[in-house]
Amino acid sequence: MQITKDTAVTLHYKLTDLATGQGLDAGHTAYLHGGYDGIFPRIEQALEGQAVGHATAVELAIEEAFGPRDESLVLTIPRSEFPPGVKVGGRLQRVGDDGQPRVYHVVKIKGPQVHLDGNHPLAGKALRFACKVTEVRPATAEEISHRHVHGGHGHHH
Ligand code: ZN
């Protein structure tokens, strides 16, 4: 079956940093095809009308991937404001200057200070997304109403 609107698509993918060639992530992902923001729009375009076994690679500019870094999201906060057990590499949610909750990554703990970064870890990077289609099936009515794929490599809830 072909990938068209309202099909559930499973991909094996490999994500690399376009500038350095460094591997960033690899695995399987499933998404609902047809403009549901389940995956980067450029990848949906590349897969439209394709079927199981199709392989492609898309190069994503920074703006097409996770956007440029925003240095205003880099914060230094007193360690005393944090629950015990905060570790480098951990994440926590706090309300940003814009009043919206945002996930911050703990990048460094230095003495009494914790350095946080609210940018997506892949912000500021151009990416290469290589993938191979491993499954295509019609999405269920429930998946379409939820705007995402369930089970397997999709959402579990
Ligand atoms: Zn759901």
CATH code, domain with 38: 3.10.50.40
| Residues whose beta carbons lie less than 5 angstroms from ion ligand 1 | 146, 155
Q: Can you spell out the DSSP letters for 30-93?
A: EEETTTSSSS-HHHHHHHTT--TT-EEEEEE-GGGTT----GGGEEEEEGGGS-TT--TT-EEE
How far is 28 from 51, CA to CA, in rounded Å? Answer: 16
User: What are residue 127's DSSP bridge partners?
Assistant: 17, 60
Collapsing DSSP to helix, strand or coil, 14 comes out as: strand
127 shares a domain with 62: yes
How many whole angstroms separate alpha carbon 142 and alpha carbon 42?
Answer: 25
- Asked if residue 2 belongs to a domain, the reply is no
User: Tens digits of per-residue pLDDT, 109-153?
Assistant: 888 899 999 999 899 999 999 999 999 999 999 999 999 999 888
Residues 6+ apart with CB under 8 A from 141: none
Q: What is the number of structural domains in the chain?
A: 2
Domain-located, residue 1: no
Question: For residue 37, which amino acid is it?
Answer: D
CATH number at residue 86: 2.40.10.330
Same-domain status, 11 and 57? yes
Q: How far is the CA of 157 from the centre of ligand 1 (A)?
A: 7
Task: Calculate how far, in angstroms, residue 156's C-alpha sits from the geometric centre of ligand 1.
Answer: 7
| DSSP run (H or E) holding 141 | helix 141-146
What range does the domain containing 22 cover?
7-66+123-146
18 and 91, same domain (yes or no) = no
C-alpha 37 – ligand 1 centre gap (Å): 14
Whether residue 84 has pLDDT greater than 80: no
Tell me if 102 is assigned to some domain: yes
Cα(77) to ligand 1 centroid in Å equals 36
**Strand pairing of 74-78 and 101-110?**
unpaired
Distance (angstroms) between ligand 1 centre and the Cα of 149 equals: 7
Q: Is residue 108 part of a domain?
A: yes
Q: Would you say residue 28 lies in a domain?
A: yes
Mark whether 28 and 48 lie in a shared domain.
yes
Question: Is residue 40 domain-shared with residue 76, that is, in the same domain?
Answer: no
Distance, in Å, from the CA atom of 116 to the CA atom of 14, rounded to the nearest integer, reads 28
| One domain, residues 20 and 57 | yes
Is 154 inside any structural domain?
no
Q: Give the pLDDT confidence of 2-56 residue by residue, as tens digits.
A: 999 999 999 999 999 999 999 999 999 999 999 999 999 999 999 999 999 999 9
155 domain-assigned: no
